């Protein structure tokens, strides 16, 4: 299996590349830079959107895992709208060239304001440029895959918890503040409930989904149940031993954030169970 991973130098991409390599997968990793890409990969720095024949350029991969995306944490950046045609063009080009499967990183923000469990049938009503662009790409990928008679997987990521300073999540920002010696962190009231998944588990789930082809379509990358934001952040601070406390109410909640939302983990649970059985059989 030869997997092309785009956005490989990003916060999420670098961990997924490492997990795939640890699993024995041949990885072609591409991004503008290669500062954080595992050196075991076939690294090719390039502007993805300027390549005329990406399938040939990247050595005829079997699968593309498209994780490239800028301004992921700036939900109302116009770059999400402006870049959408570029993502569509890349996926369309590589889909017509012999790729066996398209895998694209999605986001729970494409769902919009929803309370409860999210599954394949959940209606999406995104409320940010980020969510709108991701949801549009999801529908386009589905059509492109059908037109080219190939399978696709849309990996809908939920809230990722990691203790790296790389990234722009609230957990990365708290780590940055703690390392800078700050004693207080401005926060919301923290009452919203989200599906939090640890960074390593996220990378494992993404790799496990890519490494099999029996289960396709929309796959939630999630834990499967919600936890109050304040509780998870307080626990994160304790887990890392940070000498910092939250200033509750300093910021209002984002108006487009759901009060309680989590992923249906049915598909990813089956994938992980199958992975475990294959490992035990070997």
Active site residues: 130
Tokens read off for 111: 């769902």
85 touches 134 (CB < 8 A): no
Q: Give the whole-angstrom CA distance, residue 46 versus residue 30.
A: 7
29 touches 6 (CB < 8 A): no
Reported as type and span, the H/E element at residue 67 is: none
| DSSP result, 82-146 | HHHHHHHHHHHHHHTTT-SEEEEEEEGGGTBS--EEE-TTPPPB--SHHHHHHHHHHHHHHHHHH
Ramachandran bin of 210, using left for φ above 0, alpha for ψ from -120 to 50, beta for the remaining angles: alpha
Tokens read off for 199: 């960074």
Neighbours of 194 (CB within 10 A): 22
Reported as type and span, the H/E element at residue 2 is: strand 2-6
Neighbours of 245 (CB within 10 A): 12
DSSP character for 260?
B
Q: Give the whole-angstrom CA distance, residue 110 versus residue 193.
A: 17
């Amino acid at each position: 299996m030869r997997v092309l991973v785009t956005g490989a130098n990003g916060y999420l991409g670098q961990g997924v590349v490492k997990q795939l390599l640890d699993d024995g997968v041949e990885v072609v990793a591409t991004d503008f830079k290669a500062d954080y890409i595992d050196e075991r990969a076939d690294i090719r720095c390039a502007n993805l959107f300027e390549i005329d024949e990406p399938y040939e350029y990247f050595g005829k991969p079997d699968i593309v895992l498209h994780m490239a995306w800028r301004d992921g944490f700036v939900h109302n950046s116009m770059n999400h709208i402006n870049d959408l045609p570029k993502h569509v063009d890349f996926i369309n080009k590589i889909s017509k060239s012999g790729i066996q499967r398209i895998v694209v990183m999605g986001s729970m923000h494409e769902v919009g304001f929803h309370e409860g469990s999210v599954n394949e049938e959940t209606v999406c009503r995104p409320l940010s440029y980020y969510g709108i662009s991701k949801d549009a790409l999801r529908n386009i990928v589905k059509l492109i895959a059908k037109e080219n008679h190939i399978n696709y997987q849309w990996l809908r990521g939920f809230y990722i918890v990691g203790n790296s300073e790389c990234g722009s999540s609230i957990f990365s920002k708290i780590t940055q503040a703690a390392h800078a010696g700050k004693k207080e962190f401005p926060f919301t009231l923290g009452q919203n409930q989200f599906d939090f998944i640890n960074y390593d588990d996220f990378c494992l789930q993404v790799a496990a989904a890519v490494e099999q082809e029996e289960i396709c379509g929309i796959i939630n990358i999630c834990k499967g149940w919600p936890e109050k934001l304040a509780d998870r952040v307080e626990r994160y601070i304790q887990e890392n031993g940070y000498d910092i406390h939250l200033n509750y109410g300093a910021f209002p909640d984002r108006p487009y954030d759901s009060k309680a939302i989590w992923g249906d983990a049915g598909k990813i649970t089956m994938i992980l169970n199958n992975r475990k059985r294959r490992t035990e059989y070997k």
